């Protein structure tokens, strides 16, 4: 069908997963396919929840007392 989906398989475990779909059958999968996946991952713009730039951690407020 050409669709790329999980069909509810391990849905909760894949909530923050970085998925890559390749058009190759498992017996034919080799080192070149893995190298391609690693390269795709290295070139992704990771936004960590939708942010375009890293957010600096705010200093915790001290309680008055």
Reference 44, options 15, 19, 13; nearest CA is: 19
* Extents of the domains making up the chain: 1-51
CB 41, CB 20: distance < 8 Å: yes
Residues 11-61: tens digit of each pLDDT: 888 877 888 889 999 999 999 999 999 999 999 887 776 766 655 666 566
DSSP codes joined into one string, 7-44? TTTTTTTTTT------S--GGG--HHHHHHHHHHHHTS
Q: What's the confidence (pLDDT) of residue 19? A: 85
| pTM, rounded to two decimals | 0.54
CA 14 to chain centre: 9
Q: What's the confidence (pLDDT) of residue 4? A: 83
């Amino acid at each position: 069908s050409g669709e790329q989906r999980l069909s509810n398989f391990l849905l909760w475990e894949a909530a923050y997963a970085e998925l890559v779909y390749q058009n190759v059958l498992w017996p034919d999968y080799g080192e070149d396919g893995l190298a391609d996946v690693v390269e795709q991952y290295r070139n992704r713009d990771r936004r960590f929840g939708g942010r375009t730039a890293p957010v600096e951690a705010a200093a915790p407020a001290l309680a008055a007392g």
